[in-house]
Structure 1
Amino acid sequence: MPDPLHSHPTPTDDAGETAETAALHDELLELALEAARRAGALLRDGRPADLGVAATKSSPIDVVTEMDLASEKLITTFLAERRPDDGFLGEEGASVDGTSGVRWVIDPVDGTVNYLYDLPSWAVSIAAEKDGETVVGVVAAPMRGETFQAVRGRGAFKNGARIRHRPAPLLSQALVGTGFGYLTERRAAQAEVVRTLLPQVRDIRRGGSAAIDLCDAACGRLDAYYERGLNPWDLAAGVLIAEEAGLRTGGRPGRAASGELTVTASPALFGQLQPLLDELGAWHD
């Protein structure tokens, strides 16, 4: 069975790119795939049996492990050796402005609590921005044997096969993914939103990795996904993959997906879910 982390499909259309832009996007995609493959292998094969918390961030339950740090170092070192003029933004502290117009946005372990507890739903998320726009996204989930990828304008792929979202159901028949923050007040507000939303949909799922949830929506395992409090590294790659799979993404009405609120669904369902979430106050604590 081929290793999905080695999957390198070549899209059949050029998305209207110039030859120079297409070559850059190809290079960024290949580097993101290889960096994600290496980091995924490190995390999968190198996880110590006695893995513990190395540090906490916003609250005592917002954790970092030694493997988060090792994964980010591996990714940034690999990319910097090949593209030394690029910038970086990483969850565990990588921050470099760069001079090339390209910035890498990296979550070395999206779903750290899942990883800490040896649950399989964690991923490596790597996005490349050019002049502030996300142009490449890769989300590798080694324990699921899956790698998702997208280049802007070329479609989205899972293990080399093109993916599309599910047809839009009625809101009452929608399976909706979400996630919760780490601050007590935010969690209480998010629980209130779920309490009101749950009777109006088929069901709600909480997987623990925003990047995987966005990709699961992209390939039809969820009808929709929303969450407040995501960081750029949580959403950059997954949002591009969702959009390239035909989903609509956004935040509050008229706004882009952001830490305030991220919503993704097929266009018809998005038109029902986004205003409901706005009315329920899913965008504030």
Structure 2
Amino acid sequence: MNAFSNSRTVSADTAESTEFEAVLERAVTAVKGAGEHLRERYDVGARPGDLDGIVRAIYANDEAVLALIKQPLLKARPGSQWVEDELASGVLPEGEWWVVDTAEGNINHIHGMGEWGVTATLVRDNAPLLTVVYLPLTGDTYTALRGRGALLNGEPLRSSAKADLRAALVGTGQAKPGEDAEALRRMGATVTAMLINALVVRVSVPATMQLIHVASGRMDAFWQFSDVRSGLLPGALLVSEAGGTVTDTRGEPWSLASDDFLASAPGLHAQAVDVLSDLS
């Protein structure tokens, strides 16, 4: 199932739409509250000295934010369930699930860098219904409700109008540490191919921080050889609801069962697939 191909044209009925608007409002409150706590833990001068220190800092952030966000989100949608492993991938069981990253870009946060936030996506039967991405350092809140568009601080988002890959700013990155060697080889090959075919290539983490740029039209495409749910679902829904195109790297419908991912401006999607598909 492609969760994104018709999200702008098929809306839930009025009663359900109103119901999920209320859930989204409560989710925004929960995510922003958790994000402010994460901001209090932020130190621009942080410089962890070794792997053990990095791991301790990452877990400490996750545990601190989880204590604040889990119960409010579950209460926002009674009967929903919680995905425990934020780095997990693949198809979820039927029903409604919260897919949450308590510190998206945690590695940046603990190194005193600025690209991090808190995300939460409500998924029903493997299709995202709504998402919230909050960036505490800027105060920006990105939201999307399926079939109702994507917003930044309440204002509509629109993906890029570019139609020429040679003018495109594109990006990719690791989904998590310890990626499969074959996935990293593919990523390196596609970076080279995009350096030849696109204008500029960014390689950075996390995925959500690049996908909000694609949804906003500031970037033109993002691809990744991974299916980590929490890194892709928020941005996938935002891009789709902003008028962008979401598929795998061969141009086939993307879902949680897919092996890889591509989100782009619709006018250059076919060109991006041409570059990526031979190397995927």
TM > 0.5 between the two? yes
Is the partner of 2:39 in helix, strand or coil?
A: helix
Question: Which residue matches 1:238?
Answer: 235
1:55 CA drift (Å): 8.7
Q: Whose relative contact order is higher, 1 or 2, with alpha carbons under 8 Å and at least 6 apart?
A: 2
Structure 2 CA distance for partners of 1:277 and 1:93, relative to 1, 3 Å: closer
User: Is 1:183 matched up with 2:181?
Assistant: no
**Structure 1 residue runs without a partner (length 5+):** 1-12
Worse-matched range after superposition: 190-199 or 153-162: 190-199
Measure, in 1, the Cα distance between the counterparts of 2:56 and 2:224: 16
Q: 1:170 to 1:19 in 2, by over 3 A?
A: closer
Q: Are the counterparts in 1 of residues 246 and 253 from structure 2 also a CA contact under 8 Å?
A: no
Question: Is the contact between residue 69 and residue 92 of structure 1 (CA under 8 Å) also seen in structure 2?
Answer: no
Give SS of 1:221's match. Answer: coil
Deviation at 1:208, TM superposition (A): 1.3
Residue deviations 1:24-68, cap 9 Å, x none? Answer: 211221122111101110100133676859998xxx989833012
1:26 pairs with one of 21, 24, 31: 21
- 1:215 maps to which residue? 212
Name the counterpart of 1:202: 199
In the alignment of these two chains, the number of paired residues is 263
CA contact (8 A) 2:87 2:229 kept: no
Instruction: Give the secondary structure class of the aligned counterpart of 2:132.
Output: strand
Aligned-residue CA RMSD in angstroms? 3.1
Normalised to the residue count of structure 2, the TM-score between the two structures is: 0.83
**1:17 maps to what in 2?**
12
Cα deviation code 1:153-204 (max 9, x no counterpart):
1111001111101212311111001112533624344223212321211011
The one of 253, 256, 263 equivalent to 2:254 is 256
* 1:154 aligns with one of 127, 148, 155: 148
Matched, 1:40 2:38: no
* Structure 2 contact 251–273 (Cα < 8 Å) conserved: yes
The residue identity in structure 2 corresponding to 1:170 is D
Is the contact made by 1:55 and 1:64 (CA closer than 8 Å) also made in structure 2? no
SS at match of 1:143: coil
Rate the CA distance shift 1:34–1:253 in 2: closer, same or farther, 3 A. Answer: same
Q: CA deviation at 1:80?
A: 2.8
Match of 1:269 in 2: 268
Helix, strand or coil at the partner of 2:83? strand
CA contact (8 A) 1:168 1:268 kept: yes
Counterpart code for 1:272: Q
Unaligned runs of 5+ in 2: 1-7
Q: Does the Cα contact within 8 Å between 1:72 and 1:92 map onto a contact in 2?
A: no
